[in-house]
């Protein structure tokens, strides 16, 4: 595969320079640099402060790592559930040509996204219970729309001549889906997942209100107790996680994009 | 070498009987009671204006479009009783937009049908190399490339190679050269004719270009609305005797010239040998159209006819050309020759 790829690059010179441009773009290198610089600056700033006992209870490595872990777990599990639910649903929708069905499904997904996440999570907590699972449901409801929409759009934008050629060669419908449609739709689907992941990082901060942990704890505590270093640390770390995930997803997008496009 | 690789499968007989397609919600049928007998190895052209149902008719043969009624058989086998996917693996299919899969290399594109037929890797690889050589693309250079890296003409050749992959007895081609520029197009047509001479597949070829039909077809079906056959005959006969006004209109101007393009010089009764003047000479196997072209240049004095070795074997003039067609056609042929 790699031999082939390098030969492709060698044969199509224009392509080669395009790709090189993308690999070394500012976004590729710049984002991680910015993240590292911001975190180092935060660390330096905190180390110059004389922290009181309340601040010290949260501004230590154990506490910080635990909140970060909780936050990441919520984000990753919610996104995985979204992928498992929304991609098959999007595929199913692409096989159904009824506009009414599309309207109903997207109506529901829209409600999930337009309802403020905090309201949904707290309502769920009132009627159900507190904790991780409830936060998860809230996150999934909030971030399912982009993946669903992108899966459908990604499949719909595949040139109908290609699917006809595939059928004309004797591929069964599932083979057309697996070998032609899905590979060509992958860039769009992954872009949807990327959006969902970034949504999740942000919205997972509301988990604190229903006792599900995460970096929201630091932000809310910092506010309540008027300890700005705590609040700022929480906010900066959440932002850096969002940027990191977006950056990683961007890399995945480039890697998963079928060659030849 | 595996058995199918060594000798290509010759064509199959295709018989269509009263094939009709009616789309739900439409008053009249798109294809109305279409019947045709296609001999093995024949290259049949469907010609007609866009929307006349020629593509629909062709697509019913591999059931991309299901007929509403009627019967289609290939070598006596009822197409409508077969599994459509298995049927399609035995019918080569080339569409105008080529439809190469952009995320697959050229080799992978050509291997699609062999893979569906579960050929082993070696056999598939050998076949890909063989086919790329057949369509005159160097396997070493092109096998690992992606379609985007090929020119339109090269892509079209890969499209033909892909359709030939499993050596199907029948090929369906939907304006395969329609999207290429005139020069590439002519080159592809010449290559295609040479290929068909070797392979003698049964081919149904859809085009709206009557000249292409004359150039390539063994027989031409001129179609009108609802895929009605206005005339179904050899190019020479259609040009000489159009069945009705619709066909003459389709044939267009310069029918005599088009006919001359189909007839070699050796069909004419040659005159006495004359010396070659000003390098104006015509080969015995060239078309009469070429001979006429040279006569215009020579100012009407007889042009020397030479054989394959360059020896003068006779001469040709306007009268001798018109004798081949029948005298009444000469004036219009001359009109057509003057730009």
- Give tens-digit pLDDT for B2-39: 444 445 667 889 999 999 999 988 888 999 999 999 99
Residue B78 buriedness (CB in 10 A; 0-12 / 13-18 / 19+): exposed
Spatial contact of B103 and A260, defined as CB atoms under 8 Å apart = yes
How, if at all, do strands B43-47 and B91-94 pair?
Answer: unpaired
**Cα B313 to Cα B324: distance, rounded to the nearest angstrom:** 18
Paired strand residues for B224: B228
- Measured in angstroms, the CA of A115 and the nearest CA of chain B are apart by 39
Instruction: Please tell me if residue A253 touches chain B, with a CB cutoff of 8 Å.
Output: no
Does some domain include residue A17? no
Neighbours of B226 (CB within 10 A): 18
Contacts of B99 in chain A (CB under 8 A): 159, 161-162, 164-166
Question: Helix (H, G, I), strand (E, B), or coil: what is residue B290?
Answer: helix
Which pair of structure tokens corresponds to residue A36?
């590292």
Q: Whole domain around residue A91: which residue ranges?
A: 25-256
Neighbours of B144 (CB within 10 A): 18
How, if at all, do strands B303-306 and B281-283 pair?
Answer: parallel
pLDDT in tens, A138-174: 889 888 889 999 999 999 999 999 999 999 999 999 9
**Cα B249 to Cα B305: distance, rounded to the nearest angstrom:** 35
Does some domain include residue A183? yes
- CATH number assigned to the domain comprising residue A165: 1.10.3720.10
Paired strand residues for B69: B20
User: ipTM value of the model?
Assistant: 0.77
Using CA coordinates, name the residue in chain A closest to B101: A162
Contacts of B104 in chain A (CB under 8 A): 260
Which pair of structure tokens corresponds to residue A189?
């689907």
Written as tens digits, the pLDDT of chain A (261 aa) is 344 433 433 333 334 334 444 556 777 888 899 999 999 999 999 888 887 887 888 888 888 999 999 999 999 999 999 999 999 999 999 998 888 888 888 888 888 778 888 888 888 888 888 888 888 988 898 888 899 999 999 999 999 999 999 999 999 999 999 999 999 999 999 999 999 999 899 889 988 888 888 889 989 988 998 888 999 999 999 999 999 999 999 998 888 888 887
Closest CA to A181 of A195, A203, A202, A160: A160
Does some domain include residue A8? no
Does some domain include residue A97? yes
Chain B interface, Cβ < 8 Å to A: 62, 64, 85-90, 93, 95, 97-105, 112-113, 116, 141, 144-149, 162, 172
Spatial contact of B102 and B146, defined as CB atoms under 8 Å apart = yes
Closest CA to B185 of B169, B207, B202, B203: B207
Closest CA to A19 of A2, A29, A5: A5
What phi and psi, each to the nearest 5 degrees, are found at residue A14?
Answer: -55, -45
Name the DSSP letter for residue A181: I
Does some domain include residue A14? no
Does some domain include residue A94? yes
Instruction: Please tell me if residue A260 touches chain B, with a CB cutoff of 8 Å.
Output: yes
Which regions in chain B score pLDDT beneath 50? 1-6, 327-339
- Measured in angstroms, the CA of A254 and the nearest CA of chain B are apart by 14
**Cα B93 to Cα B168: distance, rounded to the nearest angstrom:** 10
**Cα A148 to Cα B171: distance, rounded to the nearest angstrom:** 40
Q: What domain count does chain A have?
A: 1
CB contact under 8 A, B101 and A166: yes
**Cα B96 to Cα B183: distance, rounded to the nearest angstrom:** 17
For B256-273, give the DSSP string: HHHHHTTSBGGGS--BS-
pTM (2 d.p.): 0.78
- Measured in angstroms, the CA of B118 and the nearest CA of chain A are apart by 13
């Amino acid at each position: 595969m790699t031999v082939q790829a390098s030969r492709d690059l060698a044969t199509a010179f224009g392509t080669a320079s395009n790709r090189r441009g993308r690999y070394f773009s500012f976004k590729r290198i710049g984002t991680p640099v910015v993240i590292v610089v911001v975190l180092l600056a935060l660390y330096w700033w905190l180390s110059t402060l004389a922290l009181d006992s309340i601040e010290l209870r949260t501004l230590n490595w154990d506490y910080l790592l635990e909140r970060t872990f909780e936050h990441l777990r919520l984000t990753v599990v919610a996104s995985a559930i979204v992928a498992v639910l929304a991609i098959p649903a999007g595929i199913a929708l692409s096989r159904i040509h009824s506009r009414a069905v599309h309207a109903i499904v997207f109506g529901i997904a829209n409600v999930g996204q337009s309802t403020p996440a905090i309201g949904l999570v707290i309502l769920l907590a009132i009627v159900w219970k507190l904790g991780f699972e409830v936060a998860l449901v809230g996150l999934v409801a909030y971030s399912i729309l982009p993946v669903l929409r992108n899966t459908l759009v990604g499949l719909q934008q595949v040139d109908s001549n290609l699917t006809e050629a595939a059928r004309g060669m004797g591929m069964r419908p599932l083979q057309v889906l697996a070998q032609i449609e899905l590979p060509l739709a992958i860039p769009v689907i992954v872009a949807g997942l990327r959006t969902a992941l970034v949504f999740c990082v942000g919205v997972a901060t509301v988990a604190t209100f229903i006792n599900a942990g995460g970096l929201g704890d630091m932000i809310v505590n910092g506010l309540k107790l008027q300890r700005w270093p705590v609040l700022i640390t929480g906010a900066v770390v959440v932002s850096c996680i969002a940027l990191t995930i977006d950056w990683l997803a961007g890399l995945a997008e480039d890697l998963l994009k079928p060659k030849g496009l | 070498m595996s058995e199918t690789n060594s000798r290509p499968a010759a064509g199959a007989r295709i018989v269509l009987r009263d094939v009709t397609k009616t789309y739900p919600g439409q008053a009249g049928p798109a294809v109305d009671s279409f019947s045709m007998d296609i001999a093995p190895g024949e290259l049949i052209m469907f010609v007609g204006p866009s929307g006349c149902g020629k593509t629909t008719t062709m697509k019913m043969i591999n059931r991309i479009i299901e007929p509403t009624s009627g019967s289609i058989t290939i070598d006596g086998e009822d197409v409508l009783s077969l599994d459509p996917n298995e049927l399609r693996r035995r019918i080569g299919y080339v569409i105008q937009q080529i439809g190469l899969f952009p995320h697959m290399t050229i080799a992978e594109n050509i291997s699609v049908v062999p893979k569906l037929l579960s050929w082993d890797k070696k056999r598939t690889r050998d076949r890909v190399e063989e086919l790329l050589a057949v369509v005159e693309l160097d396997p070493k250079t092109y096998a690992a490339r992606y379609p985007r890296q090929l020119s339109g003409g090269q892509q079209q050749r890969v499209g033909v190679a892909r359709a030939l992959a499993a050596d199907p007895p029948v090929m369906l081609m939907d304006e395969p050269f329609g999207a290429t520029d005139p020069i590439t197009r002519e080159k592809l047509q010449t290559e295609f004719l040479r290929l068909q001479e070797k392979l003698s597949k049964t081919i149904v070829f859809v085009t709206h270009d009557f000249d292409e039909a004359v150039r390539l077809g063994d027989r031409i079906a001129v179609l009108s609305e609802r895929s009605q056959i206005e005339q179904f005959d050899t190019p020479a006969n259609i040009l000489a005797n159009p069945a009705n006004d619709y066909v003459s209109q389709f044939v267009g101007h310069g029918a005599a010239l088009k006919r001359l393009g189909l007839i070699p010089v050796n069909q004419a009764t040659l005159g006495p040998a004359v010396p070659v003047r000003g390098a104006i000479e015509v080969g015995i196997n060239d078309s009469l159209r070429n001979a006429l072209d040279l006569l215009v240049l020579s100012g009407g004095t007889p042009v020397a006819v030479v054989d394959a070795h360059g020896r003068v074997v006779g001469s040709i003039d306007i009268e001798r050309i018109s004798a081949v067609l029948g005298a009444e056609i000469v004036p219009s042929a001359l009109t057509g020759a003057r730009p």
